[in-house]
Amino acid sequence: MMGDSFIWYVIGGILLLYVLVMIPIQYRNIAATKEQFKKTKKTHNETYEDMSFEEQQLQFNLQGNLLNLPSTLIATSIYKMRHRNK
């Protein structure tokens, strides 16, 4: 039975490592997207409508994946803390 708990620790460690690696990637994506919103002065929907199909799919996969949800929430929180006065 000790093997079963070891497997869960390994899986949990891999998931934790994945979330930690994805935080900077998500942060850069959020910052670039917000900058694009400011630069083009378009709404969220207008900006995504102007993207190519490939860009839309990349955004969807990066932000719509449930495995990326924890890193997206953490990166969003960090972005909001760093840019709250701007």
pLDDT tens digit sequence for 36-84: 888 888 887 888 788 888 888 888 888 788 889 999 999 999 999 998 8
DSSP assignment of 13-81 equals: HHHHHHHHHHHHHHHHHHHHHHHHHHHHT--HHHHHHHS-HHHHHHHHHHHH-GGGHHHHHHHHHHHHH
pLDDT tens digit sequence for 6-34: 899 999 999 999 999 999 999 999 999 88
| Residue boundaries of the structural domains of the chain | 15-82
Residues constituting the chain: 86
